[in-house]
Structure 1
Amino acid sequence: MTDTPLVSVRDLKIGAVTDAGRKVEIIRGVSFDIAPGEILALIGESGSGKTTIALSLMGHARSGCSIDGGNIRVGTHDVTAMSETARAGLRGTEVSYVPQSAAAAFNPSKRIMDQVIEITAIHKLMPRAQAEAQARDLFRALALPDPDQIGRRYPHQVSGGQLQRLSAAMALIGDPKLVIFDEPTTALDVTTQIEVLRAFRSVMEKTGMAGVYVSHDLAVVAQIADRIVVLKNGEIQEVGTTGQILHAPRHHYTKELLAAFEPVPHVPAGGRDAPEDQAVLEVSGLCAGYGALVNGEPRAKVLQNVNFRLERGRNLGVIGESGSGKSTLARAIAGILPAYRGKVLLDGQKLEPALHARRKEDLRRAQIVFQLADTALNPAHSIGTIIGRPLNFYHGLRGAKREARVAELLDMVRLPAALRHRLPSELSGGQKQRVNLARALAAEPDLILCDEITSALDTVVAAAILDLLKELQGELGLSYMFISHDLSTVEAICDDVLVMYKGEVVEALPAARMSSEATHPYSRLLISSVPQLDPGWLTGLEQDPELVAAFAQR
């Protein structure tokens, strides 16, 4: 590294205009440097300004936002003083971007190779043949399968982990000096995340490019960053080397982030020897899949002979990679996807496979909370209307009684009653997920199926949601079935765990003994793939290559 920084940000101020037309400052006097070849992480909870600052390094401000003060220099370029045309020339050549959602970055109707090398044609960087050869070299460096042919596929023909690495190839093809990684592994399961992190770090080390890594996951940041900038409310709280931030944090907010990374372990409920009639949910021989039925069976079979029981007042975790059948299981239990074989019993009463055939009382007692509150909440309805609908449907509440109950439910999920007048777009991610939960609680259920409900939330907000779920369970006597690919989340709230692989339950254990007593090779692979708060963890990670290959579905 040289003494002259590649990136220099001084007193950066970014403003935004609210829906009411009021101007607010969202980035308040941020300053930092990035040396050539250095990877700097920006961490903090949702709304801290991480992505806003990262995008400003390309001279880009989101809709409704503007760079109002300060100076950004990248190499010899004064980004803040450049025209928009000049900034466009900078993007993809000097500075490039790897998005959180690779799927949204690709055009589904164009082949992968055409999209990866497109920037080379736009900026006239090299002939097509040379660009394709360079792309294939990047595919190899990023450990993509069949690097000579994968470019001929369409985006839907590759897995999520592969698509995320292909989006990195798209960012690297122009040989930029700085690459911005915007939460690129957040949506990936733990085993896929390991592969992607290894590939990112390997290619960055080989090329000597500098990077900005935006994340709320400290364990991921620990594996890839040289230094960390801790942000809150658009201001820097602390800057330090990765080792110093992780092991000797100075600011109380950094300490709070570290504490939130390690949730308080769940204290198992009593009564493991409860009688049979205490099972709130019992599933036996459950089979489900997708597509038209042929001879009574779907074309694509997903769940195969799933069996388990969940005792009243206890929580069951279901873990596994993307595609293992976790969410399909939740949908089959809820009746959204009718099972074609097997039984689901709620308090000993058989539930009809299809949602429309179930009694209103069955629907009321088993509620589901979905992963993405953004898509689960009607954007055109107020929060009060959203929570009020199940109150009317299940309990016949109207008028003042319904309004009073909406206020009670908002208080139950620790939200102010005044929020009932707002639209979902006016709430943060954590607030929306609390509304999602309040809507489920409005039915007064016995069982709540939680489908990856914290995976899209930052560490601090996710920890708060888990604490809330524990409190509500104590107050209301609820049982949860918790779908997740995050083992620490499952350990924080569940009594027992099912491990799923390719639609089958391969292991079942008490959550407290999962890490130490799991024996199935796939369970052990999952457990070993959970990142640790140790900068040397990924380098020292030793996994049986035959085991990884045997369970690879990425």
Structure 2
Amino acid sequence: MTNNLLRVRDLCIDAPASKGPIRIAQGIDFDLHRGEVLALIGESGAGKSTIGIATLGAGRGGAYIAQGSILLEGEDIMAKGAARLRSIRGLRVAYVAQSAASAFNPAHRLIDQVTETIISRGIMDRPAARSRAIELFRKLGLPSPETFGEKFPHQASGGQLQRAMTAMAICAGPELIVFDEPTTALDVTTQIEVLLSIRQAIRDEGMAAIYISHDLALVAQIADQIMVLRHGQIVETGPTRDIIERPQQDYTRRLIAVQSVALPTRSSQPVMLEISGINASYGRVPVLHNINLSVAKGRTLALVGESGSGKSTLGKVVAGLLPPDSGRVTLVDRPLSSSLSGRSRQDLRDIQLVHQNPDLALNPRRSVGDSIGQAVTMFRGLTNKDCSREVAHLLEQVNLDPALATRLPHALSGGQKQRVCIARALAANPRLIICDEVTSALDPLVAEGVQNLLRQLQEDEGVSYLFITHDFGAVRAMADEVAVMRQGSVIAYGPTGQVLNAPQDPYTQKLISSVPELRVGWLDDIVAARTAPQNARTEKMT
């Protein structure tokens, strides 16, 4: 059995277009050995996900392999036909998608979906498959692993769904897994646990992995090799340490340089949004406890905390999507109705929400132009040519080509879809935008551009942001104030510099210490630091 599991040569991928096929990836060559991780990095639309999915013998958004070979243990998987490809997918090769929420069937319990492949293919019977799933739930840090699988997808947080999908991919013990932004929806402490689990699974089971990401700090902890992509071509490739510490190309240097950000400092402003005594629940389960926060005009309040801490739930309360049990939300001294149906058209225009998951936020049957144009017509009353011009202007504002207005969402990258959602929110000229992980799907350069855009809007229009995120780099770049949430309560609240540079409580200290550093070996140092006290206690007891 050869150690070289995957060999890709001269891979070229085309996408259909009205004037003939467009080449979206060209001349891709690499080898991947058992137990190794190859990271694909680059800006949105660089071809990362398209190339990763192609190694599974699949196309994305109508894309197809125009030429080249993909050899899995010497077998050209593209030469065996559709039946052979179906027989290896889910067993020998597996995929962890960027958007776990759209990958699960909302009508079925998680345990049934995680175990479906290994049961239907006859690998395990139902009791054994269930035990295997529970074991993976525990390894991936999911709450109450014995009963977690009984939940339906809507009952789990975005981070929990991402880990459940990782368990589903690992369940059958495949030889190759393509991880497409697997930690995008995870908070910083959970990222460490998931990364450790993924890395350990690769080592223990001799798997190989293609790890698609825009987060270089995370890539540095798990990848053996890095391939930098731009416009569907290889910019440079090499061992992780060489790429991180000695990049040869200007584009790679720029990706690394944007990791450094500075805290914004600005004068005080009157209050735009006030959240007073908010308590909320899902059914009979309390999820928010006496939340008191405010956001000034033209300022940003960041909500941080682990998955399930209540960040997105608070955003839903402010947006009117979840009526609170008690408390009040006020916008510029105007009390808002607790329910969406009770809010005026002006209320709806003033507060816009950019969802964490663009796949769920965009209608898959509507073109980009139709989705944005609907908001332009609703809130500004523009139609026909005026509407089309405004749609083009909004796309340019978020650094997208106006020509994308004719495309359907499935033909866009994850980062492009998120920017479409931002453009649609901007169409209302809102006073407050609730940004729920708006940069989580974006590569560093594009994320920096979106952050610059959001800051410019603040300067020009005085718009305020409730910025929900687990990305502390984005917090430092965007936020004037930070509220740290845990189990539905605010445990730290104040100016960004004060909260991040001098955390007072152990939980906030743990969150900040879990932010990955852009250096090879950081994760190993963190693990060593955390196990040292345990070893010391063990030695003392013996």
TM-score, reference length from structure 1: 0.83
Indicate which of 303, 323, 328 corresponds to 1:343: 328
1:102 deviates by 4.9
- Trace 1:59-74 onto structure 2 (pairs within 5 A): 59-62=57-60, 64-74=62-72
Which moves more between the two structures, 460-469 or 34-43? 34-43
Q: In 2, distance between residues paired with 1:158 and 1:356?
A: 26
In the other structure, the counterpart of 2:279 is 287
Q: Which string of whole-angstrom CA distances, capped at 9 and with x for unpartnered residues, describes residues 128-152 of structure 1?
A: 88877777776676667777x5697
In the other structure, the counterpart of 1:498 is 483
Residue 60 of structure 1 aligns to a residue in which SS? coil
User: 1:45–1:461: 8 Å Cα contact kept in structure 2?
Assistant: yes
In the other structure, the counterpart of 1:552 is none
- Seen in structure 2, the aligned counterparts of structure 1 residues 206 and 360 have a Cα distance that, compared at 3 Å, is closer
1:29 deviates by 1.2
1:191 deviates by 1.9
Indicate which of 448, 460, 471 corresponds to 2:456: 471
1:175 deviates by 4.5
Indicate which of 211, 222, 225 corresponds to 1:224: 222
Q: Which string of whole-angstrom CA distances, capped at 9 and with x for unpartnered residues, describes residues 34-57 of structure 1?
A: 233222222222322223333333
- Seen in structure 2, the aligned counterparts of structure 1 residues 290 and 224 have a Cα distance that, compared at 3 Å, is same
Q: In 1, distance between residues paired with 2:293 and 2:505?
A: 18
In the other structure, the counterpart of 1:235 is 233
- Trace 1:401-480 onto structure 2 (pairs within 5 A): 405-406=390-391, 408-415=393-400, 424=409, 428-480=413-465
Which moves more between the two structures, 82-91 or 301-310? 82-91
Q: Give 2:282's aligned amino acid.
A: Y
In the other structure, the counterpart of 1:537 is 522
Q: In 2, distance between residues paired with 1:431 and 1:163?
A: 22
- Seen in structure 2, the aligned counterparts of structure 1 residues 481 and 89 have a Cα distance that, compared at 3 Å, is closer
In the other structure, the counterpart of 1:196 is 194
Residue 541 of structure 1 aligns to a residue in which SS? helix
Q: Give 2:267's aligned amino acid.
A: G
Q: In 2, distance between residues paired with 1:115 and 1:539?
A: 30
1:7 aligns with 2:6: yes
Q: Give 1:316's aligned amino acid.
A: L
Q: In 2, distance between residues paired with 1:127 and 1:415?
A: 49
- Seen in structure 2, the aligned counterparts of structure 1 residues 510 and 335 have a Cα distance that, compared at 3 Å, is same
In the other structure, the counterpart of 1:324 is 309
In the other structure, the counterpart of 2:511 is 526
Q: In 2, distance between residues paired with 1:228 and 1:184?
A: 17
Q: Which string of whole-angstrom CA distances, capped at 9 and with x for unpartnered residues, describes residues 458-517 of structure 1?
A: 333222111111112122222222111222111111111111112211111211233221
Structure 1 unaligned blocks of 5 or more: 292-298, 549-554
Indicate which of 445, 450, 466 corresponds to 1:481: 466
Q: In 2, distance between residues paired with 1:509 and 1:217?
A: 27
Q: Give 1:280's aligned amino acid.
A: M
Q: In 1, distance between residues paired with 2:369 and 2:231?
A: 28
In the other structure, the counterpart of 2:77 is 79
In the other structure, the counterpart of 2:30 is 32
Q: Give 2:179's aligned amino acid.
A: F
Q: Which string of whole-angstrom CA distances, capped at 9 and with x for unpartnered residues, describes residues 250-291 of structure 1?
A: 1122122223344x32422113xx5xxx21222221222333
In the other structure, the counterpart of 1:366 is 351
In the other structure, the counterpart of 1:46 is 44
Q: In 1, distance between residues paired with 2:345 and 2:61?
A: 44
User: 2:99–2:359: 8 Å Cα contact kept in structure 1?
Assistant: no
Q: In 2, distance between residues paired with 1:128 and 1:343?
A: 48
1:222 deviates by 1.2
- Seen in structure 2, the aligned counterparts of structure 1 residues 395 and 40 have a Cα distance that, compared at 3 Å, is closer
User: 1:116–1:167: 8 Å Cα contact kept in structure 2?
Assistant: no
1:241 deviates by 0.9
Q: Which string of whole-angstrom CA distances, capped at 9 and with x for unpartnered residues, describes residues 64-113 of structure 1?
A: 33323222222232334334333444445543434445566666646737
TM-score, reference length from structure 2: 0.85
Q: In 1, distance between residues paired with 2:496 and 2:347?
A: 28
1:380 deviates by 4.9
Q: In 1, distance between residues paired with 2:36 and 2:403?
A: 46
Which moves more between the two structures, 229-238 or 183-192? 183-192
- Seen in structure 2, the aligned counterparts of structure 1 residues 58 and 327 have a Cα distance that, compared at 3 Å, is closer
User: 2:320–2:340: 8 Å Cα contact kept in structure 1?
Assistant: yes
Q: In 1, distance between residues paired with 2:58 and 2:123?
A: 22
Residue 43 of structure 2 aligns to a residue in which SS? coil
Residue 523 of structure 1 aligns to a residue in which SS? helix
User: 2:99–2:357: 8 Å Cα contact kept in structure 1?
Assistant: no
Q: In 2, distance between residues paired with 1:56 and 1:392?
A: 39
User: 1:164–1:196: 8 Å Cα contact kept in structure 2?
Assistant: no
Residue 267 of structure 2 aligns to a residue in which SS? coil
In the other structure, the counterpart of 1:295 is none
- Seen in structure 2, the aligned counterparts of structure 1 residues 519 and 97 have a Cα distance that, compared at 3 Å, is same
- Seen in structure 2, the aligned counterparts of structure 1 residues 373 and 525 have a Cα distance that, compared at 3 Å, is same
How many percent identity over aligned positions? 46
Q: In 2, distance between residues paired with 1:405 and 1:130?
A: 57
Which moves more between the two structures, 305-314 or 58-67? 58-67
Residue 463 of structure 1 aligns to a residue in which SS? helix
Q: In 1, distance between residues paired with 2:381 and 2:61?
A: 42
Q: Give 2:275's aligned amino acid.
A: V
1:310 aligns with 2:295: yes
Q: In 2, distance between residues paired with 1:482 and 1:3?
A: 49
1:424 deviates by 4.9
Residue 188 of structure 1 aligns to a residue in which SS? coil
Q: Give 1:517's aligned amino acid.
A: A
Q: Give 2:476's aligned amino acid.
A: E
1:245 deviates by 0.9
Q: In 2, distance between residues paired with 1:380 and 1:420?
A: 13
Q: In 1, distance between residues paired with 2:423 and 2:101?
A: 31
In the other structure, the counterpart of 2:286 is 301
